[in-house]
Amino acid sequence: MNMPSALALKLRSFTDLSEEEALVIEALHKRRRRFVVGQDVVSQGLCDQNAYILASGWACCYKILEDGQRQIVDFKIPGDFLGLRSILFKVSDHSVEPVTDIEAIQIAPNDIIEAVSNTPKLAVAILWAMSRDEAMLVEHLVGLGRRDAAQRVAHFFLELGVRLSLVGLASKDGYFCGLTQYLLADALGLTAVHVNRTLRQLREDGLLTFRDGLVSFDNYQRLVSFAQFDAGYMDAKEPFFD
Amino acid sequence: MNMPSALALKLRSFTDLSEEEALVIEALHKRRRRFVVGQDVVSQGLCDQNAYILASGWACCYKILEDGQRQIVDFKIPGDFLGLRSILFKVSDHSVEPVTDIEAIQIAPNDIIEAVSNTPKLAVAILWAMSRDEAMLVEHLVGLGRRDAAQRVAHFFLELGVRLSLVGLASKDGYFCGLTQYLLADALGLTAVHVNRTLRQLREDGLLTFRDGLVSFDNYQRLVSFAQFDAGYMDAKEPFFD
DNA sequence: CGCGGCATTGAAATTACTCAAGGGGAGTGG
DNA sequence: CCACTCCCCTTGAGTAATTTCAATGCCGCG
């Protein structure tokens, strides 16, 4: 089939890909595996030299503390890499777990090194994708350190909207999002109870509604300004909406 | 001179470097620049295609929010890269600023790509260094999300100790650290006042003393357990102390 | 029908912040 | 050498944000 993969879609927001480069990407898409909810894709503390490209469904990447607390580091959507950071480590520093049932493309370290060394432009594009992942990580860190609960929640949904729109899964009005308030809490460094109260506040303020798995932006401009959302760190070629 | 650079020292904690590979690293050390406190090395929002290797002194990498708040993302010590993430971005997503007067080695994107493509083992070592930077970022994020002030401060000083020990700047008893409580606050997502109270608490509990720019571990084991510090994510070949 | 997971709400407790004041040391200019 | 300022550290008291504990409702599923 000719449909471009989510990864190709995402990379196109950075650079144009030639026919040939697009083919190299699709050639990576060989070993397709399925994981169901509850089945770890990558496990913290285990030696696991495989990375993946998420093809469909959502996953989350997290760390568990000794006392059992969990911090979700990032949610992964189609086109994102899973476990890429740990391929050089003796032991993986984090876990990846499906949030919905997922399909993921397993990539052996050699595959990616080969693809990269034969296709310089693709190498740069993949480095860019890794840099962008890190930039989002940094922005997440900034949010945890310096934004209050409401700004954090607002910022989270705005960023997710941009990411989804790059792979065709969101529009300017909103998008589907199957995350529970417990998952949001673990990602945003809050309790589920407080996430709930915060969502109510945002809804009552006419900024954002998240209900029945559907995110709708009630006033996009005001939300952006409230959350101090500056999408510069996502480094897209063009504005996402408007 | 024959003294290995801090970068070489750090990479050796991951892999052995041959004479030749070490030479390639030292060959990078050409354009040495000095920056004084207050003089930005990299500026958020500006186009700046240069990255650096920090040769001496300390720096910090931070983001400023629209409302003026600052979050320090990481402190940089000798051997660390500065601004590496933004070289592919149209616009830098963060700033880097010296904490003390520093010396930094400017590296043009091409230098590093060339070094990497001629020396595969070095390429892997540098990728490892980038992965480790990201792992530390993630651990920092986890701390902001899930650790309270005291654990955060304790964890911070433990990690810094490990990093410094890899470049020969710390021992198991402690190390020199010229950071102010205001800088700590901006890094740890706290206020300076609260950092102060927290330091007092740690001191009174016999865990850690930070005074006159000197960090001393009063009871390393208990501190590690208190902070839930598991150095696995730093992926060193051997234990750091003991 | 009963159970489990998720969402919602209230009240009390805790953590961290804000505001305010004072102290010490290093540098500077008179 | 002293006075002054600036920056940083320290402490107290009141306030705000978030968590904890507890209880209830809803819904899908076996």
Q: Judge whether residue A215 has pLDDT over 90.
A: yes
Chain B residues with beta carbon closer than 8 angstroms to that of A88: 124, 127-128, 131, 235
Alpha-carbon distance of A22 to B14, in angstroms, equals: 35
Q: Nearest nucleotide by C1' from A151 CA?
A: D17
Instruction: Check if residue A20 sits with its Cβ under 7 angstroms from strand D.
Output: no
What residues in chain B have their Cβ under 8 A from chain A's Cβ atoms? 45, 63, 65-67, 69-71, 73, 85-91, 93-94, 117, 124, 127-128, 131, 134-135, 137-142, 144-147, 188-189, 228, 230, 232-233, 235
Spell out a b/e string for A106-143, using b for 16 or more CB atoms within 10 Å of the CB, else e.
Answer: bbeeebbbebbeebeebbbbbbbbbbbbbbbbbbbbbb
State the amino acid at position A162 in one-letter form: V
Residue whose C-alpha is closest to residue A88's, from B163, B133, B137, B88: B133
Q: Token pair 């001496």 is at which residue? A: B56
Which nucleotides of strand D are protein-proximal, with an atom < 7 A from a CB? 7-13, 17-22
Alpha-carbon distance of B76 to B62, in angstroms, equals: 11
Instruction: Check if residue A209 sits with its Cβ under 7 angstroms from strand C.
Output: no
More confident residue, B109 or B194: B194
Q: Token pair 């510069």 is at which residue? A: A232
CB contact under 8 A, A145 and B71: yes
Q: Judge whether residue A241 has pLDDT over 70.
A: no
pLDDT digits (tens, 9 = 90+) for B172-183: 889 999 999 999
pLDDT digits (tens, 9 = 90+) for B41-73: 999 999 877 899 999 999 999 999 999 999 999
* Residues with Cβ within 8 Å of residue B101, at least 6 apart in sequence: B34, B35, B36, B37, B57
* Residue A14 pLDDT: 87
* Residue B222 pLDDT: 97
Alpha-carbon distance of A147 to B189, in angstroms, equals: 9
Q: Provide the pLDDT confidence category of residue A239 given band limits of 50, 70 and 90.
A: low
Q: Cα dist. B14→A39, A90, A127, A129, B159 in Å?
A: 31, 10, 21, 25, 17
Q: Provide the pLDDT confidence category of residue A1 given band limits of 50, 70 and 90.
A: very low
Helix axes B120-146, B149-166, angle to 10 degrees: 160
Neighbours of A239 (CB within 10 A): 8
Which tokens go with B219? 């009871």
pLDDT digits (tens, 9 = 90+) for B79-130: 999 999 998 898 999 999 999 999 999 998 777 777 777 787 888 888 889 9
* Residue A88 pLDDT: 86
* Residue A125 pLDDT: 86
More confident residue, A78 or A120: A78
* Residue B1 pLDDT: 44
Contact A57, A101 (CB under 8 A): yes
pLDDT digits (tens, 9 = 90+) for A181-207: 999 999 999 999 999 999 999 999 999
Provide the mean pLDDT of chain B.
Answer: 91
* Residue B2 pLDDT: 54
* Residues with Cβ within 8 Å of residue B43, at least 6 apart in sequence: B92, B95
Strand boundaries in A88-182, DSSP class E:
95-98, 102-107, 174-176
Q: Judge whether residue A240 has pLDDT over 60.
A: no
DSSP A156-167: HHHHHHHHHHHT
Q: Judge whether residue B3 has pLDDT over 50.
A: yes
Q: Judge whether residue B189 has pLDDT over 90.
A: yes
> How far apart are the CA of A205 and the nearest CA of chain B, in angstroms?
21
Residue whose C-alpha is closest to residue B151's, from B224, B215, B206, B218: B224
Which tokens go with A133? 């992942």
Domains for chain A: give ranges and CATH numbers.
6-128 (2.60.120.10), 147-234 (1.10.10.10)
State the amino acid at position A169 in one-letter form: L
C-alpha dihedral sign at A187, A190, A192, A197: negative
Judged by phi (left if over 0) then psi (alpha if -120 to 50, else beta), residue B80 lies in beta
Alpha-carbon distance of A120 to A70, in angstroms, equals: 39
* Residues with Cβ within 8 Å of residue A236, at least 6 apart in sequence: A13, A14, A162, A166
Whole-structure pTM value: 0.94
Q: Judge whether residue A118 has pLDDT over 80.
A: no
Q: Which of B14, B15, B71, B74 to mutate to test the interface with A (most CBs of A within 10 A)?
A: B71
Out of B69, B93, B144, the one facing A144 most closely (by C-beta) is B144
Segment B133-162 shows an average pLDDT of 98
